[in-house]
Amino acid sequence: MGKCTIDHTLEDVKQKLAEQSAFMPRELVMEVGDSLSADADQDYLNEVFHLLKKYDLADEKEREKRNAQLNELVK
């Protein structure tokens, strides 16, 4: 994924998670949601947003890759 120059707010990321949650493993949705807080840094928010972006349109292989990346981020 290319580097985006737009900084996404905490609310942007929460909204994107809500939009994509129906397509994601429930446990991962909960872990990502729990990791989103006011003290999350901007790089973290941007990275999570871009992994969630168009998640619903991704094929199974791409979703597995994104799931792994999200799992690494929330640990």
Per-residue pLDDT of the chain (75 residues; tens, 9 = 90+): 456 678 999 999 999 999 999 999 999 999 999 999 989 999 999 999 999 999 999 999 999 999 999 999 998
**Sequence-separated (6 or more) residues with CB below 8 Å from residue 50:** 1, 4
Residue 22 resides in a domain = yes
Is 42 contained in some domain? yes
Q: Is residue 47 part of a domain?
A: yes
Counting the structural domains of the chain, the total is 1
Running DSSP on this structure, what letter comes out for residue 53?
A: T
Identify whether 2 is part of a domain: no
pTM of the model: 0.91
Give a yes or no: residue 36 inside a domain: yes
- Classified as helix, coil or strand, 40 is coil
* 45 close to 13: Cβ distance less than 8 angstroms: yes
Q: Flag whether 27 is in a domain.
A: yes
DSSP state for residue 39 in the 8-state scheme: T
Domain interval for residue 17: 10-74
